[in-house]
Structure 1
Amino acid sequence: MQGLNEMNGKDTNLLAAFWTIAGDTHPNDSEWISPDSLQMRAEAASKAGWKGIGLSLDDCRYSVQKYGPPGVQHILTDNGLEFFELEILMDWYTTDGRREASDRARREFLEFGSELGMCNLKVGVSHLDLTPTNHNQMADEFAKLCEDFGTINATVGLEFMPFCKVASLADALPIVRGANQENGGLIIDIWHVVRSGTTYEDVAAVPANLIKGIELNDANASAIGTLMNDSTYHRKACGEGEFNCPSFINAAKKAGFHQNYWGVEILSDFLRKAPVDVRAKHVFDTTIAQFNPV
């Protein structure tokens, strides 16, 4: 029988992914840096109830330059933010000129992750990559990536996205299975699940060891404009759209999802313009309510 705390969500740890509380910045910007300081975001997140936070590489670099690694660590720990993610590494599997920049970012992710106690690195596939998908080659490269980040005790989560060539759960599973690394697996975002035509039943069937992160959000039943447009402008807080977040959460639990926190990633114009304390509290409150729906 469930305990009272579990039923009312009090034992559920939530992590605010970078875009969720980043404010007035956008994926099309040349650098992904929040106009609100890390100190402001961490304090707002803590006050709202969050137990973790995510940063982009640009934002992490900026914060480290501003506060120093010990300063960033203090900001996180002083605000009770136990869990820390970085995102997002692209082109990690490429063999052409893109790889040089990717490897530079990889080294920075490793350095910052080691200094700051990162628990997970999010990786993806660029929507600009139109080359044929070679699952075996990607699996080999993903395995090497996992080995690198295993040295700092971090997991590596591959996020499938319906606007790229690793578009669905079915596309991503062969890569993480082929890599066969204990610290490597999938980030399963509800928006990517719904928009890729993946079902919640498909999610429930994923082996628990292959799920390194779950991300929650909501949206309309149908995309507004292109998938990229819908993803970056029109996500909603949980319970304010038509995705049925409790059913998705139950599917993840049925799969045996057992990581220490649930991620929340929302990109929307409302959150970009709202004050940091408003966006932190609104998204936390609407998300935690999904774990004990009325």
Structure 2
Amino acid sequence: MSLDQLLLAAGTVQAVPFFDRLVPAREAGFVGISIFAADLEQLDQQGVSHREVRDRVADAGLFIHEVEIVGNWLPGEPTKANPGWLAALLQRSTPERLIDLAEAVGARGVSVGELQGVAWTIDAGVDAFAAICDRAAPAGLHVALEYVPTGTIPDLATAWDLVRLTGRDNGGLLVDSWHQFRSGSSLDLLAALPAGAIKSVQICDAPAAASDDLDSEMIQGRLLPGDGGLDLQGFVAALRATGTTAPCSVEVFSATLATKPVDEIARLCAEKADGILKGSRHG
């Protein structure tokens, strides 16, 4: 794989029924997708088997990069006042459950994040992340840790310390442009990472000035790549400096974008992301 190969993230098309995403994604030039655990819950309720999910994704000429997102993995009690549906979903999103789902649908990995406000220590984090990696390894799955500025693993430096100390080959980082800039994380640190540290990349844009409500901006106020004020050229240049072979997922949580037809969403995401990636190659 390479950074120039595009994936369509589940969050970009979360309002679209899962199977309706597949053909538009492939026709827009995406090679793969991600899927939420909640998508699989809905399909289960409809009587759709995991094998059918796997087969229909393959028939569309795509692959599933990750099942998102392991949210209940650190020891301790949640302190963040998430909406009830999200709190319940995160509690269900254990490593064991999502790893089993990823293996069943033929995904290549799972993502991990801290969204519940669980207090932690680096030692507890290393132990917990190592356990996820060890549980995922026999299935050949990678485990990608996403730093979230409104969570308790808020930035690249903290997440990289955890991953580095864990020392598992299948464990690494999920580097998201929105999280990178809204957390104030360093592009120099990003560029200095070893290639194997990065398992996943997500790209979107945002206004240069952050919202007063980062949680709201995170889940509904992102912009298409190139439509905002983030230094995406610098972001991609830093990623290229690492030598990463992770593909690039276009993740645009946007209430505005979600009003468009799915084929238009896919086309816009592919065109905008490709423009940023091409610009970085020639910059």
Same fold (TM over 0.5): yes
Verify: 1:49 aligned to 2:36, yes or no: no
Q: What is the DSSP-based 3-state SS (H/G/I as helix, E as strand, rest coil) of the residue aligned with 1:267?
A: coil
Q: Give the one of 207, 210, 224 matched to 1:220.
A: 207
Structure 1 position 196, deviation (Å):
0.9
Structure 1 position 83, deviation (Å):
3.7
Distance 1:230 1:95, change over 3 A: closer
Q: What is the DSSP-based 3-state SS (H/G/I as helix, E as strand, rest coil) of the residue aligned with 2:256?
A: helix
Distance 1:217 1:135, change over 3 A: same
Aligned residues: 268
Structure 1 position 169, deviation (Å):
0.9
> Is the 2:35–2:64 Cα contact (8 Å) retained in structure 1?
no
Q: Tell me, which stretches of 5 or more residues in structure 1 are unaligned? A: 1-8, 24-35
Structure 1 position 107, deviation (Å):
2.8
Distance 1:172 1:183, change over 3 A: same
Letter in 1 for 2:24: A
Verify: 1:136 aligned to 2:123, yes or no: yes
> Is the 1:89–1:105 Cα contact (8 Å) retained in structure 2?
yes
Q: Distance in 2 between matches of 1:39 and 1:188?
A: 27
**Per-residue Cα deviation, 1:243-273 (whole angstroms, up to 9, x for no partner):** 13222111101012122x1112111111222
Q: Distance in 2 between matches of 1:278 and 1:79?
A: 18
Query: Partner residue of 2:238?
Result: 251
Post-superposition, which runs of at least 4 consecutive aligned residues in structure 1 deviate over 6 A? Answer: none
Instruction: Name the Cα RMSD after superposition.
Output: 2.1
Q: Distance in 2 between matches of 1:160 and 1:280?
A: 26
Query: Partner residue of 2:83?
Result: none
> Is the 1:139–1:174 Cα contact (8 Å) retained in structure 2?
no
Verify: 1:59 aligned to 2:59, yes or no: no
**Per-residue Cα deviation, 1:215-261 (whole angstroms, up to 9, x for no partner):** 111011111231112212221000111113222111101012122x1
Q: Tell me, which stretches of 5 or more residues in structure 2 are unaligned? A: 79-86
Verify: 1:89 aligned to 2:81, yes or no: no
> Is the 1:64–1:72 Cα contact (8 Å) retained in structure 2?
no
> Is the 1:121–1:157 Cα contact (8 Å) retained in structure 2?
yes
> Is the 1:92–1:103 Cα contact (8 Å) retained in structure 2?
no
**Per-residue Cα deviation, 1:146-193 (whole angstroms, up to 9, x for no partner):** 011111111001111111111111111121111110000110111111
Q: Percent identity?
A: 26
Q: What is the DSSP-based 3-state SS (H/G/I as helix, E as strand, rest coil) of the residue aligned with 2:173?
A: strand
Query: Partner residue of 1:27?
Result: none
Q: Distance in 2 between matches of 1:37 and 1:105?
A: 24
Q: Give the one of 105, 114, 117 matched to 2:106.
A: 117
Structure 1 position 120, deviation (Å):
1.7
Query: Partner residue of 2:276?
Result: 290
**Per-residue Cα deviation, 1:110-162 (whole angstroms, up to 9, x for no partner):** 22211211112111112433x2x301111011011001111111100111111
Letter in 2 for 1:39: F
